[in-house]
Structures are given as C-alpha cells and as structure tokens.
Chains A and B, each alone.
Chain A
C-alpha cells in the first residue's frame, strides 16, 4: 500500500494500463510533455513515449472522434477533456456516435474508450471551470457514467473503465483531487493522507463499475450522493448527530439499485445530494428510482439538495455550493415529516 492523492492514484492507474496493454493510449490537451493542467498524466509520456501519450490539438470533438476511430481499430484510448465544461464540443461524437455504435452495428463494431474529465466547483473557476454535467450524459443510452470520491476508488474504477469494452465517461471531482473536502472553504485543506481511502495498492486492482458503496452505516435516513458531496454529507451527518446512512453511488449508469433499495427500505427516509443543478438532473432519476422501489417504506417525501438552477457564479460559489447546512436542513425535513 502507498499514500496517494487522487491525482497520483489516477496516474498510477494509467501507468499500469499503459504497461499492461500495448493498445492503451492516452490523448488530450496538454497531457503529454507537460503532464496535464492538473498533473494527472505527469511523467507518463517520458516513461511510455510520445506515441502512447499524445498531446492533441485543442478540439474536443476531434479528440473523441479520433479516439472512437482508434477504438474501432483495436486500440483502447483514454481521452482527457481538460475540464468537463469543455466536453460539449465533443457532445455529438459521444451521443450520436460513441453511445450508439455497438447497437447500430448489431455488436459488430464498438469503441472501448474512456473519457476522463474533471468536474465540479469550489476552485473559483467561474461558470466555465465548475460544471457538473453528469446528468446530461446519464440520459444517453449506451455510455457508462461514473464518478469516484476518493483515491482508492479512482484508481480501481479507472482501471475497470479502461478494461471495459463499453465506453465510459469518467468524471473526476477536481475539488477533492488533493484531499477530502467537507464543504467549509474556510477550514485548512486536509490531505488524502488523513483519510483511509488515501491508502492505495501500488499494483493492479479494480473497483467494479455498477456498484455503489455504503460509506456510513445508519438507521434514521439514507443520503444518496457521489463525488465531492460524499464528504460534505459525512460531515453533515457527523455535525448534526443524525444517524444517516450514506451511499456513495460511484456509478451513475449503470446504477446499483439494490444498494439503494435495501438502505431506503431500512431507513424509510431519503435525501439525495449532488452539486449539479436540480431541474431535470440526475437526482430526479435517483428520486424516481427510490419512489418506484421503496414507495411503501417511505415515511416522508424524498428531499433533493443540489446546486441552484443557475450558472455557477464566480463570486458566490459558496452560496451556490450545497453545503452542510442545506444537507442538515433536508435531513431534518425528512425526519420531522
């Protein structure tokens, strides 16, 4: 075991994938010689060569399109989109092409590619470095969508994604690259070395896609969340003394319905938390699923705590960010109902 932050864990996963499979290639803006703006690919071009770790032109649609072509021709590309906010120029290639290729060719063609992209706010990035667009992708049939919340899962899930024959959009919550974050920006930053999930095996292992994890056992209510908000929810449970069960969804599509059902049937109360906007967001899918699976066990209406339905405002990100206080208010609401 080694101590790793999320950046190092992702780097380790890609290093192993490049070493184990000669058909794995990395591609993206500034990822090669420089090692990426968040340093996730640092040292990998030097170690594996320029033909395996490619700096690309600034053209996200081109990156995904050429990755698809390579994937169809037997390679296993891992594409980085520098910020999730810049994934939209690739949207057509992902939605119209990547997601449907296997289906439209009746299984004869497929592209086993992974698209990594940092998401989420809290770094004073304004509206074009803060978005959480996962719900836009979960709405598309044919792509898997995941978001790890710690270094251990980041490495294991990235290896699963790369080895998966289906395309995976892999969201990385950038606010917790360097340490878990409880939602309070005034507190000193905490490193991953203080968190058990900062312990990461150096060698190969996988964390399966399609499995949620219960990160806190509890009896009073279930919090369903993922990414950065897992840590905010944990802090909210701790500071409020509410005995909440917290589920880290990890894999948004496909979704681990069993874990959700078992928990909510036990607690009878459910709060859904994500940083993305609320209207038509992924929380609505979670809420509908819980309602369908647990209606006769629910003691209170399901609550959603989310980013507001506005663009991410640069100066007011902490008013926008769904912090501990809002989660506690929602927990109280489901408990008092």
Chain B
C-alpha cells in the first residue's frame, strides 16, 4: 500500500507506478511495465540457481496477449535447451486490454500447446479452481526441484473487471459476458467446496471477509500516515538521482545540485 502511494515507506522510493512493487526478502523480483521482458529473465535466474548447485526454482507469469512477444519464445527456447528449473505460467484471462485471446492465437491452439514445440510439458488448468492450480503448481515445482526441467502452465480464467482505471470494457465486450463465464468465481467455488466437505461455513466465510476488509482498510489508513501523493510526509525528490548507478557520476551530482538550487517546479 505504501508503494501504491509512493510514500516515505515505498520500497521503490516513488520511482514506479502503483503495484509495481517488489520484495528482496520475499524473493519477489522488481516488476517492469514492459510486457514479457521478465519471462526469459526468470529462466536465467533458474539457470543460475542450477549452476550454483542450489535447489531454488523460479516462477514467472504473463498474460495471454503477452505470449505474442518474442520474449515468450526466448524463455521457452532457453528453458528447453538448458532444462532450467522454472515454472512458466500463462494467465489466460481471455482479454488483453480490448483484444480477445484470439489475437495471440489462443483460439487456434491452446497456449499450453506451445510447450510441445519446445519439448516442454504444457498443462492447461482451470485457473478458477484453487485446488487444481495448487496441484499442478506443486507438480511443476517437483519437476523443477528434481531436475526434470521446465513446465508451461496455462491458467484458464477471466478478467472480470477493467484492464486499468482508465479502461472501459463496455466499449469492446458485452457487459454480461462475465456472468456467462462457465468457470465461475474462484473464491465462491473454493468456499462451496469447503462447505461441502464440512470444513467451512457461511458464517466463517462472512467473518473472514469482514476481518480481511478491516485489515485492508486499517492498513490503508496506516499507509496514508506515511504520506500520500498530495498530503503528509513525502520523499525527497532529489532521491531520483540515486540508484541510476551504484556510485553517482559527476554529471548526475551536478544535475542534482542544479535541481536543489532552482527549487524547481
């Protein structure tokens, strides 16, 4: 939340758009806005893990539309050639902004089938079935850990809301399409399943929802005390000159001084 507010506790120091967060401790890599660029990087990370004799594995996710970028093929080729311990996921939510997955060729042949051409097992999973996703990911992780190589997983799902806050999906798809989507809502499905098993109840679910809503609201309130883009404490803008390089070169030092001297707006 602090990252979304670009505030004094933002790990990106105000340099990235909302949700482009990362976590060094959590092994969550820095997110780039350029589609698919990190898919082959995950393969390289996994190759390094194998080279160093470690049993860590890498996982990366892209969208259906993003499979059209050449980086998708770079990832599959390198993963196949070096049998890298990596899980390559395609989240097929049917839409890439306004274009249907057909514009990435997904209706001719499932994205999972792309693995075959590279000799990589490709699995298509009901992405709205929590347990199926869990099971297949476990299987792929096991393969990676035991040196059996990469796995491509296509998660079939649906992008229920807009692509972004400035997107209006009613311009390119029927409003009711999501209602008609056969695979339903993953949370509702898991809930029903657990209730049928006798492990969960409507009451428990409602309580959990309330608890999580409150947790989110409280976290947001707390995050706001560390500054929002318009109010409260804020980062020093001159920090933008840091981390361009490990050591700040002379021309950047000079530019930073100029910025501070001009108190610019």
Interface residues of A (CB under 8 A from B): 29-30, 33-35, 37, 55-59, 61-62, 85-86, 88-89, 124-129, 184, 278-279, 308-311, 313-316, 318-320, 323, 325-326, 329
Contact = CB atoms under 8 A, between A and B. Distances in A.
B264 A325 contact: yes
Given A310-B252, A316-B240, 10 more contacts: A29-B96, A34-B97, A59-B70, A62-B68, A184-B265, A308-B252, A313-B240, A314-B6, A315-B14, A325-B264
B262 A326 contact: yes
A285 to B, nearest CB: 18
Contacts of A318: 265
B97 A30 contact: yes
Interface residues of B, number: 43
**Which 7 pairs from chain A and chain B are nearest by CB?**
A128-B33, A315-B14, A34-B98, A57-B68, A315-B6, A126-B17, A319-B237
Given A127-B15, A127-B33, A314-B14, A29 B264 contact: no
B16 A279 contact: no
B224 interface: no
Most chain B Cβ neighbours within 10 Å, of A29, A57, A61, A311: A57
Contact of A58 (B6, B66, B238, B265): B66
Given A34-B171, A125-B17, A309 B251 contact: yes
Chain B interface, >50% SS class = loop
Chain A interface, >50% SS class = loop
Contacts of A184: 265
Interface stretch (B42-50, B99-107, B150-158): B99-107
B240 A126 contact: no
23 contacts: A57-B103, A58-B69, A58-B104, A61-B70, A85-B34, A86-B34, A89-B70, A126-B16, A126-B17, A128-B32, A128-B33, A129-B17, A308-B240, A311-B244, A313-B237, A314-B17, A315-B14, A315-B15, A315-B234, A316-B240, A318-B265, A323-B264, A325-B264
B98 A33 contact: yes
B64 to A, nearest CB: 9
A56 B33 contact: no
B237 to A, nearest CB: 4
Contacts of A89: 34, 69-71
